[in-house]
């Protein structure tokens, strides 16, 4: 990172948070570092120390090849995250310093939804019926916890009386039900999907934006990344033979594209700070615009996705490191990397290679993914760590700090499977 960018970043953080909040944030970070350095499990201590050393020394070398081994480790970790809960949902993730539940958090309906799609594709690609059945159990569990409105609750699983709806979460579970129905032809998945798709269609305003963002993100603004629901809606419209859901999908993606700046930037595109969105939410938006564009034959959407991804490609370091947040002029807005976002950008690049034939996209994706492979543990004595991808690099970076959210490993596995397909051709 350039010195001027670093100065801007520090100044912006102090000014926006204030001196008092900055002090307490630093104190919390120090407490978390101390907890990791004194953790009862020596494998957690060793991993944290090695992670910090590699970040400070820029000592991460890319790992080329090893795709089936890495993919299997990631899939196995996702299955362990499912087994860690008392139901068939997938744990939000493993956070080794959590004081309760052995570090495993409760089931998370939103991401369990799109993990279904990932594991069903893994089962197909690698011929694993056990993984297929685990994914279908997730789908049946999602039907059990679906709200009467057709929506999916925000946040980790809570009792029905405490559930609040979230459009984005609903779209992510709809994606999983589409995959489950396409795999099984089980009408239960189609029926649940219809209730979810109907909720989403009714939740859109006249401009094509969703109204119900939920209580777990900053309120009072559009959330551009919710256009990813459009991909699931388009898929559902195809499976159900109901083109009106195609129209709704195109409307919500068009709403995002209408806001895009000339330099590829999408405003209002973060969970908490739209001045400097995460590559995670940027990745959601790019994937929505690209995939709906491909399904609908909308070259203008595909062109918009290209405008949005090319500034990010320019920011990938030779090693494969990509900063985890960006300002509207595409200057880095954090020192750490959001590993989920890096995996998502790799996926978009692989898909653009498929659609355009431009090999530069595949080269960018390989740089990102080969870097992520080097950050995946596959030989730790702690099975809670093996196969997973952390929220951030370094481990105490700002996104999902000091933990392994399940969606980081999900998107990493998606990218590995796309890389594997290309390795076979």
- SS3 of 119, please? helix
What is the model's pTM? 0.95
Q: Which residues touch 9 (CB under 8 Å, ≥6 apart)?
A: 1, 332, 333, 334, 335
Give the mean pLDDT of 57-77: 95
Fold designation for 62-423? Glycosyltransferase (1.50.10)
State the average pLDDT for the chain.
Answer: 94
The percentage of residues in the chain with a pLDDT greater than 90, rounded to a whole number, is: 86
Range from 30-39, 137-146, 300-309 carrying the lowest mean pLDDT: 30-39
Degrees, nearest 5: CA angle 373-375-378: 75
pLDDT in tens, 41-60: 999 999 999 999 999 999 99
Residue pair 231/175 in contact (Cβ under 8 Å)? The answer is yes
Give the mean pLDDT of 337-353: 98
Q: At what angle do helices 3-17 and 19-37 cross, to 10 degrees?
A: 110
pLDDT for the residue 148: 97
**Which ranges in 215-271 belong to alpha helices (H)?**
229-240, 244-259
Q: Which residue has the tokens 């195809």?
A: 238
pLDDT for the residue 10: 72
pLDDT band at 226 (very low <50, low <70, confident <90, very high): very high
Reported as half-sphere exposure (CB side, CA atoms, 13 A), residue 334 has a value of 23
Whether residue 334 has pLDDT greater than 90: yes
Q: How many angstroms separate the CA atoms of 420 and 408, rounded?
A: 18
Helix (H) or strand (E) holding 93: strand 93-94
Whether residue 11 has pLDDT greater than 80: no
pLDDT band at 17 (very low <50, low <70, confident <90, very high): low
Domain limits, the chain: 1-32, 62-423
pLDDT for the residue 397: 95
């Amino acid at each position: 990172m350039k010195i001027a960018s670093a100065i801007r970043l520090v100044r912006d953080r102090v000014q926006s948070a204030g001196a008092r909040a900055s002090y307490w944030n630093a104190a919390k970070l120090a407490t978390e570092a101390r907890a990791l350095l004194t953790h009862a499990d020596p494998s957690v201590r060793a991993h944290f120390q090695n992670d910090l050393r590699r970040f400070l020394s820029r000592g991460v070398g890319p790992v080329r090849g090893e795709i089936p081994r890495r993919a299997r480790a990631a899939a196995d970790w996702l299955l362990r995250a499912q087994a860690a809960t008392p139901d068939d949902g997938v744990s939000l993730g493993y956070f080794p310093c959590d004081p309760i539940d052995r570090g495993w958090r409760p089931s998370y309906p939103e991401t369990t939804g799109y993990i279904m799609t990932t594991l069903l594709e893994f089962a197909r690609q690698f011929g694993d019926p056990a993984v297929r059945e685990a994914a279908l159990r997730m789908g049946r569990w999602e039907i059990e916890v679906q709200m009467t409105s057709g929506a999916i609750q925000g946040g980790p699983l809570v009792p029905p009386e405490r559930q609040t709806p979230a459009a984005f979460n609903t779209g992510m579970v709809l994606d999983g039900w589409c995959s489950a129905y396409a795999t099984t032809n089980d009408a239960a998945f189609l029926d649940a999907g219809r209730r979810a798709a109907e909720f989403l269609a009714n939740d859109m305003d006249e401009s094509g934006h969703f109204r119900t963002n939920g209580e777990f993100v900053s309120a009072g603004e559009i959330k551009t990344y919710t256009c990813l629901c459009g991909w699931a809606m388009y898929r559902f419209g195809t499976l159900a033979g109901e083109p009106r859901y195609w129209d709704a999908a195109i409307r919500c993606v068009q709403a995002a594209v209408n806001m895009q700046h000339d330099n590829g930037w999408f405003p209002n595109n973060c969970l908490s700070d739209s001045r400097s969105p995460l590559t995670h939410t940027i990745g959601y938006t790019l994937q929505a615009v690209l995939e709906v564009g491909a399904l609908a034959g909308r070259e203008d959407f595909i062109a918009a996705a290209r405008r949005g991804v090319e500034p990010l490609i320019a920011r990938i370091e030779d090693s494969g490191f990509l900063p985890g947040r960006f300002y509207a002029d595409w200057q880095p807005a954090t020192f750490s990397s959001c590993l989920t976002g890096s995996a998502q950008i790799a996926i978009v690049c692989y898909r653009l290679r498929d659609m355009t034939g431009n090999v530069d996209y595949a080269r960018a994706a390989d740089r990102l993914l080969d870097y992520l492979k080097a950050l995946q543990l596959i030989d730790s004595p702690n099975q809670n760590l093996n196969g997973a991808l952390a929220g951030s690099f370094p481990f105490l970076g700002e996104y999902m700090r000091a933990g392994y959210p399940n969606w980081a490993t999900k998107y990493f596995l998606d990218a590995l499977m796309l890389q594997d397909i290309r390795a076979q051709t």
